Structures are given as structure tokens and as C-alpha cells.
Amino acid sequence: MGPGQLRLGAALFNGDHGRLADEVARIEEAGLDFVHLDVFDGHLVPDLGFPPRTIATLRPLTRLPFEVHLAAADPLRFVPQLAEAGCDLLLFHAENVPMLYETIFTVREHNIRVGLVLGLGAPLQLLSRLSRSSTPCCCWRGSPARVQGATFNPLVLSRVEAVAAMARAANADLDVQVAGGVNRNHVAALSRVGATSLALGAGLYKASDMAREVAELRALAHAGVA
């Protein structure tokens, strides 16, 4: 993927929950690259997000990858159900898992790609230990406490820049994904500091023409590194 060519996805949690099938169809028709799905346990995040059975119901409706942000104190409890539901990538909070490598390997045993979520307070050393592994994706959010209607935290920019530099130094092919309040005002800056995937929120769904909005977002990403 060349400079400015970010993968763009839609965080379904910000869509109309009464019309999820229609929202998934709109995401695919708009030319987005993946569907970002939030799964919570009600403890690590004070909400429940999408249960695996809802993901399983939506899975036949699109060919787009389902990339799951799993905010759970015990993520391994959800892995078998998410695998059965058709999850393609599972992102879990590294700072809340005592046995990091074991969790990664268990997810892979279920034939799911695995990535790490690191909040603003999580030490970057958690990632540096894995920078030469085949863990392909790292997701950065301001805080797991708020998802729907979350406000983007500008401190994420320096974190993304740091992890992108770590990846280059280690010659590692990492997908640096950003989620949490991301909208068109942040695309150019995130592209500039090294983000490679963005999970877009409420602003995307408010666009009268989602396909045109996606095209404009891709242009902004390219301008950010031009």
C-alpha cells in the first residue's frame, strides 16, 4: 500500500442499530475496506456492543472483512464464538491481558488474524517486544471508556508516529489502525504520522452521500503525505 493509501473502515457501532443490514450494505456500496465491530463485556468498557450472534447474522451480507475490537477483561472467553461468527481480525487490549503471547497464539489457533489495542496510558514496550513477530495490526484509541460519540484525542497522533517509527526501525510490516472519534478533520494528520488504517465513526454515517465522503477522505489521506 503506497503513501496516503489508507484502509478506511466504518465503525458499525455508530450506525443505525435499527437498520444494521442496511448500514452494512451502505458501507460496502460506499467503497470502504472493512467493517469495524465493537464487542464489549460490560466491565472493561461500560457497554455491551455487538454480541457474536449479531455478527454471525450480519456476516453473510457482505464480503468485507469483519475487524472486531474486543474490549473484555477476559478476551479468550469470546474467541470461539467470534471465530464461529466469522470474525476476520480480532483486536484485544494488550494492557489488560496478563499472558500476552498465549492470548495471541490462542486467537491464531482459531484461524483469526490478531492485533493489539493500546490505550493512551499503555506502555509502548508492549508493542516493541512483538515488533518482529507476525502480529499484523495495532489499533490505537484514546480511551476504551467511550465509543459511540467519542471525541478524538490529539495525543493519539504522537503515539501513532512513535509506533510507525518503531515498525520502520524493526523492518516490521505493521498495520497501524486508529479508532475512536476519527473524522475527516483528522485524516490528513493521521496519514502524515504513519497511520495505515482508520475506523471512522459518526461523521461518516451523517454524510448524505457516503460514497462521495469516502472518496474525499481518500483524497485527504493522499494530501496528508503529499
Return the CATH class of domain 7-225.
Answer: alpha beta
Q: Say if CB 20 and CB 62 are below 8 A apart.
A: no
Joined grid coordinates for residue 162 = 512513535
**In this predicted structure, what is the pLDDT of residue 142?**
52
Q: What global pTM score does this model have?
A: 0.91
Q: Is the pLDDT of residue 226 over 80?
A: no
Say which residues have a Cβ less than 8 Å from residue 121's Cβ, sequence separation at least 6: 95
Tens digits of residue pLDDT in 91-116: 998 888 888 888 889 999 999 999 88
Instruction: Tell me the CA distances in angstroms from 5 to 67, 96, 136, 196, 197, one per residue in order.
Output: 19, 32, 17, 7, 9
- Domain extents for the chain? 7-225
Q: Is the pLDDT of residue 33 over 60?
A: yes
